[in-house]
Homo-oligomer: A and B are copies of this chain.
């Protein structure tokens, strides 16, 4: 086959330049280029454009102000950032007011209805978020029955390196997304499989199974993966006009039953954790309280929590009683993390005040920044080494 292969590839390559529908731009634009000094250069060929800008979370300041790019020879617009800290960054171009993806960069991440290009500046966090030369876990998209929601539903399951080749039982982390997210969010925006692979390889996290559910009880699956197919328009509340049979926390027992039946798990409290961001932090609060002797580890990341009071300000005694039960049953870690600029910051402070009043033990991690995936990746990287010890 050797000679034939050479002929074939030459043929294919020639043909492809003429006919293939799959080739990108003919002109070779390198964008984004991460330079040796950690500056990053963006480039866009747009000879007819009047104004080209780049926006993204590499720009600091609030509100974020897009940066003008400068047109050079051949209609290539360019901008080079200052040196950037090691991180995963998002960006888009704005061409005469129209927000577009960088045609030279195939790497994108969807956050709800927005698709952004991504790049990584390596070194510290960037390496933690990258595929490294380490053993890799398996990432599966699995459908389970949820009798509570009367639906087949999709989840993402990470099993640690070697799972297929041994008979070990593993602890389980249930890792929940926020409003507008789905069972893809922690993998795509959260870089969860890279973080877990890397922390396990560094000996900083225990090998574990990580279960990432879809927390929208009206949805079977993420955008494009449900029976709505491409008719589904992603938004904050999942499909419109759908009245779920129950809340996601109410249906959590279906998830737990499926996982404990079909995976090799250590089915005890010391080997169960639940954590989530924003709405998923609220879900983690609810689930750990509703199953008050089930989880030794709870993580609330920028959580949608608050003091247990109703609209009139009256304390909800049944909720307090549940939390006290959870407290009395004991657990090893109740970790609350929030950024000082988060719109849920005050709510989290109020929640912790109520926890203090009932001597409910927790650990608080306050960070810079707001309600962003940048923070949630950091929190996951800090939470994983603390669980299943």
Contact = CB atoms under 8 A, between A and B. Distances in A.
Interface string A365-379: 000001110000000
Copies of the protein in its oligomer: 2
A130 B220 CA distance: 14
A202 to B, nearest CB: 16
Interface string A7-44: 11101110110011111110000000000000000000
A369 to B, nearest CB: 12
A206 interface: no
Interface stretch (A102-110, A269-277, A292-300, A355-363): A102-110
A110 to B, nearest CB: 6
B97 A47 contact: yes
Given A9-B237, A25-B99, 17 more contacts: A1-B247, A1-B282, A5-B247, A12-B179, A13-B236, A21-B372, A22-B180, A100-B101, A101-B101, A105-B230, A107-B223, A107-B230, A108-B115, A118-B230, A120-B230, A138-B142, A139-B141
B99 A98 contact: no
Contacts of A60: none
A329 interface: no
Interface of A: 1, 3-5, 7-9, 11-13, 15-16, 19-25, 45-50, 57, 90, 95-101, 103, 105-108, 110-115, 118-120, 130-133, 135-143, 152, 154, 161, 164-165, 179-180, 221, 223-227, 229-230, 233-234, 236-237, 247, 249, 261-262, 278-279, 282, 286, 304, 306, 310-311, 343, 370-372
Given A9-B179, A98-B46, A114-B24, A154 B132 contact: no
20 contacts: A8-B279, A8-B304, A8-B306, A12-B343, A22-B180, A23-B112, A45-B98, A48-B96, A48-B97, A98-B103, A100-B103, A106-B113, A107-B230, A119-B230, A120-B229, A130-B229, A136-B154, A137-B143, A138-B143, A139-B141
Contacts of A137: 143
A98 B229 contact: no
Nearest to A75: B97
A192 B102 CA distance: 28
A227 B164 CA distance: 22
A230 to B, nearest CB: 5
B343 A11 contact: yes
A300 B132 CA distance: 35
Contacts of A131: 221, 225-227, 229
B97 A95 contact: no
The 5 closest A-B pairs by CB, nearest first: A24-B113, A22-B111, A140-B140, A136-B143, A48-B96
A316 to B, nearest CB: 9
A233 B104 CA distance: 9
Contact of A99 (B103, B135, B249, B371): B103
Given A15-B343, A100-B101, A112-B24, A152 B130 contact: no
Nearest to A247: B1
